[in-house]
Structure 1
Amino acid sequence: MKSILFRSGLIAAAFFLLPAHRIANADGHVAHAPTFKTPKGFSLPSQPVRIMIDKSGYELQVYDAQGWYATYPVVFGNNSLADKCMEGDRCTPEGDFRIINKRVHNKWSRFLGIDYPTAQSIARFKELKRRGKVPANATPGAGVGIHGTWPNDEYMIDRYSNWTNGCIAMKNEDVQELYHYAVVGTPVQIRR
């Protein structure tokens, strides 16, 4: 195994790099597995924390006051990875959001809700509706968040199988770790 550096407080220490692999999902899209993650048992990130989600890389990256902290594999809704247009399109929204609530979830382990739709999301939705790109009776949708998987279904993350209704899904162990230190108000940037 290879090793790289990670940050634990103000000290740098080496940890193992997980082997990268390529996986094709159902529509033939080839994704690269994220190749690193902070090992368990090391210090928590120093606040403030921010989250960056890269849809094309299938990664959720966490940054704290010191810089990069961790990277987790994630999956989304629609395989197109397009920006959300309306409720029911199964697309994951793009833009700048914040975590607005957190709860233990009986189906998805943990749920960190984001403030979609924002004013920017609503403006985009209205413009799409004005141009006839979404039906006149469509709504922008809501209830988007970061959550885990059904019990014993974490293989969906390993296979990069997009299956949510527009949320960001993580392995249960990973979402429990994120839930522990991502507070309400944490910025979340989603991009493709």
Structure 2
Amino acid sequence: MKLSLRLPIAAMLLALAASCAPSKFKTYDGPPVTQIVVNKSQRQMLFLSGSSVIAAYDVGLGNEPVGHKQFSGDGKTPEGLYYIDRRNPDSSYHLSLGISYPNPVDSGFALAQGQDPGGDIFIHGWGPEGHALAPRKRDWTAGCIAVRDDQIEDIYAMVRDGTPVLINP
């Protein structure tokens, strides 16, 4: 076979193999998620449809898990009412859903203290960093809420932008 025919055939075989690989993007046809509740002290995240819990996951938190996030770099996970405000399909942590921290109260407090409130708080998978740290240290993020990669795939499919996230101490 000529070299000119081998390259297109090899490219087609590679494309076919890639299309057979499992996707990290799942579909969800269950009841709508109307609220996410994170109970930091229990390291648990609940997904509610109305008043019914439809899913629950164990989580890892910021590397300083006690207390409300106040400043950039404090390692704390925020507490209070926030919303899912963005999603990142190309996250370094497999997939991620953004949480609307800081809200105006968080920003005002930090600025009054001459500090940066921080940001980029997500519900995310482990990704390579988590696979290295999570088996040894449960709370390893910079303030995010972490679940296993297979779990964030389910969560990413279940949750819509605008979903309220209540984070309790």
TM-score with structure 1 length normalisation? Answer: 0.66
Q: How far does residue 156 in structure 1 lie from its aligned partner after superposition?
A: 5.1
Structure (1 or 2) with the greater helix fraction: 2
Shift of 1:152: 8.4
C-alpha separation in 1, matches of 2:135 and 2:39: 16
Partner letter of residue 185 of structure 1?
G
Q: Which residue of 1 aligns with 2:151?
A: 174
**CA 1:56–1:158: 2 relative to 1, 3 Å:** farther
Shift of 1:171: 0.7
- Report how far residue 45 of structure 1 moved: 3.7
Q: For 1:75, give the aligned amino acid.
A: G
Q: Conserved in 2, the CA contact under 8 Å of 1:117 and 1:142?
A: yes
Rounded Cα–Cα distance in structure 1 between residues aligned with 2:123 and 2:143: 10
Shift of 1:155: 7.8
Corresponding position: 1:125 with 2:110: yes
- Mean Cα deviation higher: 112-121 or 43-52: 43-52
C-alpha change, 1:46 and 1:167, in structure 2 (3 Å) is same
Following the alignment from structure 1 to structure 2, what is the Cα–Cα distance between the partners of residues 47 and 122? 31
Larger proportion of strand: 1
1:45 touches 1:64 (CA, 8 Å); kept in 2?
Answer: no
User: Of the two structures, which has the highest relative contact order with CA contacts closer than 8 Å and spacing of 6 or more?
Assistant: 2
Question: Higher mean Cα deviation, 68-77 or 103-112?
Answer: 103-112
Q: CA RMSD in A?
A: 2.2
Whether 1:90 aligns to 2:67 is no
Decide which of 94, 110, 120 is 1:143's aligned counterpart. Answer: 120
**Identical amino acids, percent of aligned pairs:** 28
Match of 1:165 in 2: 142
Q: Cα deviations across residues 146-172 of structure 1 (Å, max 9, x unaligned)?
A: 000124845855666211111111111
Asked whether the 8 Å contact 2:64–2:74 carries over to 1, the reply is no
Q: Is the 2:65–2:75 Cα contact (8 Å) retained in structure 1?
A: no
Equivalent residue in structure 1 for 2:93, among 102, 108, 111: 108
Show structure 2 runs of 5+ residues with no match. Answer: 1-27
The count of residues paired between Structure 1 and Structure 2 equals 142
- C-alpha distance 150-168 of structure 1, shift in aligned 2 (>3 A): same
1:112-147 CA distances to partner (integer Å, 9 max, x unpaired)? 0011111232244356x2xxxxxx3x2101111100
Code of the aligned partner of 1:181: M
